[in-house]
Structure 1
Amino acid sequence: MTVFRDFNFKLLVVEKLMYWDETLSPAFSLREHMRARGVEDLDAYVAEHKLEYTVLDEARTYFEQLEIPNELLATVDELTFDGGHQVFMECAPVWDGEDALFDLTRLDDLELLPNLKLFTGGRALEHMIPGALEILEARGITARH
């Protein structure tokens, strides 16, 4: 089993494979997941439990346990950091993008993506991890701002 060291980095990979490429399936829907557990109004549930600025446990557990085969990891040639990602909405459905909830903390997981050539969101990445652009460059990965 492939182990990611940074949960948020894994979410970027999931975004690419599950929601963009649709090669990692089925696509996770927190609303459907919670509806199956008797929660009809997810927004009300989030507000009632004061979970607006957190990753819901149900989503965290799902994505932490999600196995991504090495064959799929090898298909990832680009990643994008963008606050509007579908995977972020599946984790924190009323998140407003105004905090560091999904910031990356490390780039150790780059080694899991042998064919990564492009990282879009370089300015944001450099803000999250000082020196990140140099790390990407050393690995032959182009950073696009």
Structure 2
Amino acid sequence: MSADLFCEIVSGERPAHIVHSDDVAVSFLDTRPVFKGHVLVAPRAHVETLTDLADVGPFFERVQAMARAVEDGLEADGTFVAMNNRVSQSVAHLHVHVVPRNRKDGLRGFFWPRTKYESADEAASYAEAIAVALRRTR
């Protein structure tokens, strides 16, 4: 495994607000969310880009389930799902952003303003709400 921030989260070496973890992917809250409840879904195996991922289907099943859980758990109108490959990829480990969206939330185009959680407890409450919704859909 390569030594990057997400590999450290996957292995448990670095703390994160984990929403879900299984043998395919680990989903956790972004520490600089576009909107609160912004989840990153990263494959457990270290790969840098989408073209490096050998088995795309199971990974995107996790992304799809997370998009549904973010909407349901946070009562969001929808989600914005995005991925960068190399350019604008802040961590060289494949990850998909699942961002809760609501009408008139102010997000326009690809300008991603960032926010912060008020506390670790607030972040944990968002992670739990999404995790509960994910368990309901499985």
Fold in common (TM above 0.5): no
Higher helix share: 1
Larger strand percent? 2
Q: TM-score, normalised by structure 2?
A: 0.29
